[in-house]
Amino acid sequence: MLATRPARAATPASVDQADARARPIDLSRLGLTGARPIVADLAIVVTLTVAAFAIRYPYLWTAPRFRDETFNALRALDIYRGLYHAYTDVELYMGSFFNYAVVAAFYVFGPTIYVPRLVVTLFGVAMVGATYLLGRELGGRIVGIIAAAFLLTNGVLIAAMGHIGFSANIAPFFSTVGFWLLHRAVVRNRPWSMAGAGFFFGMGLHTHPIIVGFLPGAFLWLLWRGRDWFRTPWPYAAALLFLVAYSPMIAYNVQTAGGSVRHALYTAYERPDYVPVGRSATLTPATYLDRQGDYWSMSYRTLGGALDSRRGPADYLLDPALLATVALALAGVVYAARRGYSLPIWVIVPFSIILPIFNATHYDVEGDGRYFAPALPMIYACIGLLVVEGAGALQRRRRTPLAARAVALAAVALTLALVLAQIPPLARFYARSSRVEPTNQSLIAAMDDLKAARRGEAILLDDNLNDRKVENASPWDEASTFRIFKFIMEFDALPYQVAEVDAAALAAWTARRQPFILVVSSGQTGKDTAELNRLIEQHNLRDLNNRPARAPRPNDRYGIFRYTPPT
């Protein structure tokens, strides 16, 4: 017969009972000791999440430039308008939860281009709160605050993930809650936490398959640390809830005979933007070692929030704050394992072996730092545990209260310095990405001018704008200017047509003797500029204010003109 819950496992007191045993930095100084525990925790979570939103809000819609997130947003818009229902997102290996979360936000805020990024930001804010709970479970409130503070200022979490409306960027929230509940279930003997962990891991996998790389280690840790649980119904309830959370993807793959798997394999081994020309997707010992190097370089920068561009790898490797954060993280993970919290090692080691097998070239921090993001809350909690218990041990060796207080202040100063050291790289990233034209701001302003000047005319969007795709773009990818103009016009329900605009196409449009607005590519050479000037003069194209117009320079990328048929 299955027991209702296992016998309580023996656990180091510093991990299980940190509130009672190891509290070197007195919480009474924060005014929390007299409060009821739930009130104190709620006050801390609210403070952290408000701070998380405040630091994420600047540049939310301006940096980075809108990427292929526009396709995910348009999928949600079609669902909102009743035109589409789906089990999966645009990428067939991700479920549609994020699409429907955006749809729900459309009903609250209205269907605008700004909502998808806001949704991701709110999940990122919630992840900070979940990180506090994970750290709180491990070693008390101060540990939770330290863990959440590192996550709070990490630029990869803030801008590279929190400012991109993409399903993968909410997956770490679900995995963070899953890791918290799993640890809570085993250490504190909480059956419902075990069941909840299964559901949240399922939601993590639903939102992005990267979570599958973290699950083998979590399962092995449970076998090692909580094997008695398998004599109870709770692991099986967790498995059932995992399947419930992942059920849309299961249904889709049953209907399509493994469509998600085929798409994932295509992405890993054939898709141009994942396997660029000149790089082999073939796995050999040499390529695997190269990928390991890329993976650890990405993880190193992601851990310290080094999102900015620098001259070379040495600039990151020799960064004192980045080195100190990584060194403290390594020491913290080892220390936590010795004190009974070995889950990070069990999870990260298998993931680090698995990912380079399937990921050939995607190790860019801005685009791919999210792969390592699910590990960050556990690592930061380990840092918090090391700082708190290390400071406590040093305090106990001091013979005077003044010396003990100095140790506490030094611990606070070190932690605060490393937390704040993540902000300058984020500021440099914002400064660079907000200046590189065309920016979101300039493209949105151009479309606002078009909408204000439009008097019901049709809009002709030049397909030549799509010639400036990024290197190794996917077949269905689009250049930034072309993509963003389509994105805005779809949300604003502006009628437009796409055509390759040349002399013949423009002659055909003007022959209709109907007014229209032309959004045309500037071309890429002086010859293109001269030809466009000839067409402007031939068809008497004007600017939006009906003044004489000239062709844009190639660096301008596009021009917007009005055609009014002669009377």
pLDDT digits (tens, 9 = 90+) for 332-381: 999 999 999 999 999 999 999 999 998 888 899 999 999 999 999 999 99
Question: For residue 259, what pLDDT is reported?
Answer: 95
Per-residue pLDDT tens digits for 118-155: 999 999 999 999 999 999 999 999 999 999 999 999 99
Instruction: Report the C-alpha gap between 359 and 214 in whole angstroms.
Output: 15
DSSP summary character for residue 88: B
Percentage of residues of the chain with pLDDT beyond 70: 91
**How much is the average pLDDT of 506-514?**
93
Per-residue pLDDT tens digits for 238-254: 999 999 999 999 999 99
Percentage of residues of the chain with pLDDT beyond 90: 78
Instruction: Give the pLDDT band (50/70/90) at residue 28.
Output: very low
Whether residue 36 is predicted with pLDDT greater than 70 in this model: the reply is: yes
Q: Measured on CA atoms in the order 474, 476, 482, 486, is the torsion positive or negative?
A: negative
Query: pTM of the prediction?
Result: 0.92
Q: Domains of the chain (ranges plus CATH)?
A: 36-430 (no CATH), 440-563 (3.40.50)
What DSSP letter does each residue of 418-429 carry, written as one string?
Answer: HHHTTHHHHHHH
Question: For residue 17, what pLDDT is reported?
Answer: 42
For the chain, give the mean pLDDT.
Answer: 90
Percent composition of the chain: helix, strand, coil (DSSP 3-state, to 5): 65, 5, 30
First to last CA, the chain: 91
**How much is the average pLDDT of 17-42?**
54
Instruction: Report the C-alpha gap between 357 and 362 in whole angstroms.
Output: 12
Per-residue pLDDT tens digits for 413-453: 999 999 999 999 999 999 998 888 889 999 999 999 999 99
* 496-500: long-range contacts, CB 8 A cutoff, minimum separation 24: 496/458, 496/459, 496/460, 496/461, 497/458, 497/459, 497/460, 497/461, 498/461, 498/462, 498/463, 499/460, 499/461, 499/462, 499/463, 500/462, 500/463, 500/464
Triad 50, 204, 73: Cα angle to 5°: 70
Whether residue 27 is predicted with pLDDT greater than 80 in this model: the reply is: no
Question: For residue 209, what pLDDT is reported?
Answer: 96
Per-residue pLDDT tens digits for 260-295: 999 988 888 887 777 765 666 788 999 999 999 999
β-pairing, 558-563 with 516-521?
A: antiparallel
Range with lowest mean pLDDT among 39-48, 151-160, 328-337, 469-478? 469-478
- What are the structure tokens assigned to 432, written together? 């660079």
Q: Which residues contact 564 (CB under 8 A, 6 or more apart)?
A: 515, 540, 542, 546
β-pairing, 558-563 with 496-499?
A: unpaired
